[in-house]
Homo-oligomer: A and B are copies of this chain.
């Protein structure tokens, strides 16, 4: 019979915490494995591979729903167009976020630089926070 892995083993192999693996099962991302006589999960190769896929996708910032779609597309051998669409869409979001964070970084460094490090004479940070007009930057939501 084929090799099986206990949940702790799978956790080590994929650098995932045990409760996280159970969580993925709970939300339907990782299929429920068989259980042994004592009700413990016994995983197979297929689970290991799916879990690696999930973890790599997470490291790349994909959300669990996106990952679910990607896994389904992998299964279905269907059009790679949809895969590309998801990936590009995610990339766009990341680029947006980078742009927003860069603006934020600008605004913050100006805020912080307004008073030299040692001087105790009153610093402007609180005033700028209190009054947006003292701040040269537009900010966005999200």
Using a CB–CB cutoff of 8 Å, the interface residues on chain A facing chain B are: 49, 52-53, 56-57, 59-61, 70, 73-74, 79-81, 83-84, 87-88, 90-91, 94-95, 97-98, 101-102, 104-105, 107-109, 111-112, 115, 117, 120, 122-123, 125-126, 128-132, 135, 139-141
Given contacts A52-B131, A83-B125, A130-B49, contact A88 B74 (CB under 8 A): no
Q: Give chain B residues whose Cβ lies under 8 Å from the Cβ of A140.
A: 59
Residue of B nearest to A77 (CB): B122
With a cutoff of 8 Å between Cβ atoms, the chain B residues found around residue A128 in the complex are 56
How far apart are the CA atoms of A102 and B91 in the complex, in Å?
11
B91 touches A52 (CB 8 A): no
**In angstroms, how far is the closest chain B Cβ from the Cβ of A39?**
30
| A135 CB contacts on chain B under 8 angstroms | 56
